[in-house]
Amino acid sequence: MPGVAHDADPPGLRPQGGPHDLADLGAVMVAQHDIGVLVQAGGRQIVHERVAARPRRTLQPGLVRLDQHRVETQLRGEAHDRLRNRRLEHHDKLPRDGLRITHADDCAILDGVTLAPTRTFVPQTLQLGRHLVAPPVVLAPMAGITNVAFRRLCREQGGGVYVCEMITTRALVERIPKTLKMIAFAPDEEFRSLQLYGVDPDITAAAVRMIAEENLADHIDLNFGCPVPKVTRRGGGSALPWRRRLFGRIVKQAVDAASPAGIPLTIKMRKGIDDNHLTYVEAGLIAQEAGVAAVALHARTAEQRYSGQADWDAIATLKQALDVPVLGNGDIWEASDALRMVEHTGVDGVVIGRGCLGRPWLFADLQAAFAGGSAQALPALGEVAAIMSRHAHLLVDALGDERHGCADFRKHVAWYLKGFPVGGDLRRSLAMVSSLAELDDLLAQLDPAVPFPAESLGQPRGRINAPGKVSLPYGWLESRDDDTVPEGAEMENSGG
């Protein structure tokens, strides 16, 4: 598969040397800044002298409880802000095949010292286990969207990781036919990526073992970010990290089940339930200690759903707290947004969700951007129509039924035509097609010379909804350390 190299050595991704010896303090190390290593010990913060090898931040069970708000405030302090604008030292630990952008206008005077121009490191690869992925771009799993047809359409544009729709662990281990059919990969999809949703540690581990033993995928991601009420009210998705012991058991058992087969396991999560119940730093540390290959953060809370702006500062906070690769997700509508996120947060890669809806060519823009180019695809309406037709044909081939494939395509029409001057009647007809011949006849009525609507660039796509109260199981917030699996939590239907 283009963009993925196998059996590559992972140079520089994991810092050498074990944790610095702070056992006498009974401390949890939470951050390293350019002024030293910041440590929380016994309810107070101290600055420990700089050490030669960057220590891993680890949770030491039974010593200190991590206070999410204290850590977030700490990481967003002056030292964190200063470091975020001077990432050269940190990124020297990453593979050398990256791009550096120099900003001459970033010179500043600080405490009488003139700083050299800052340089932003733009990573060009992402290490997931033995797999080297280029560019460091991930297509987020989206229910009813990221099937084999859409993934192929996107893969043809550029490299990266293309994740299938969410698979529920219970449906997988019980071999529900619909779920097994959803685990479909094209013959040339060499790096097969699959996302699992589960709430029971044992069932999740069984699902991972099944994937490994039956060679169903090369990469597994665990879903801890879904904000949908039918998921959170069962204690799943973005609600689950609040129960940190249960979260830790799920991740640890999944990693242990995947490791013998050499399958890298990652997690994707949100900031927390709401602004008063943030969990992302602590959850990231727990996942890192469990052995995950990377952590992805959608920088919104479950309460926000898909409203407002993504909090990129939270992504920067998480990046500073972890040693494993961190991927950022939220409000990446253009390739330039991805580079801005890297510059702002220092992340190791980006996750693309709604930004590619009706725009699979975004992955071509991303490949060019991470390689140092500035090319941007602005297809005219005729080119968009050709992609729409190909998308529908791929869906029909994948689903094996023309009527079903065309019906599945209908939801994509509005996304493809966003911003183009296409009349309401024609739009409605396209959104009701039932055959490929009908679709092609309607597409032929479009003016192929109409240029791409530049005013739609950078605009949100897909669902945009208002914040809403998060549905949770009764008493869910009362105990963070209860690791009991919620009754009826496992879902039988895959796809979200």
Active site residues: 226
Burial (CB count <10 Å: 0-12, 13-18, 19+), residue 274: middle
Phi, psi of 223 (to 5 degrees): -90, 115
Cα distance between residue 188 and residue 396, in whole Å:
19
Q: Residue with structure tokens 């058991």? A: 249
Cβ(217)–Cβ(189) below 8 Å:
no
| CA-based radius of gyration for the chain | 23
SS3 sequence, the chain?
Answer: CCCEECCCCCCCCCCCCCCCCCHHHCCEEEEEECCEEEEEECCEEEEECCCCCCCCCCCCCCCCCCCHHHHHHHHCCHHHHHHHCCCHHHHCCCCCCCEEEEEHHHCCEECCEECCCEEEEECCCEEECCEEECCCEEECCCCCCCCHHHHHHHHCCCCCEEECCCEEHHHHHCCCHHHHHHCCCCCCCCCCEEEEECCCHHHHHHHHHHHHHCCCCCEEEEEECCCCHHHHCCCCHHHHHHCHHHHHHHHHHHHHHHHHHCCCEEEEEECECCCCCECHHHHHHHHHHHCCCEEEEECCCCCCCCCCCCCHHHHHHHHHHCCCCEEEECCCCCHHHHHHHHHHHCCCEEEECHHHCCCCCHHHHHHHHHCCCCCCCCCCHHHHHHHHHHHHHHHHHHHCCHHHHHHHHHHHHHHHCCCCCCCHHHHHHHCCCCCHHHHHHHHCCCCCCCCCCHHHCCCCCCCCCCCCCCCCCCCCCCCCCCCCCCCCCCCCCCCC
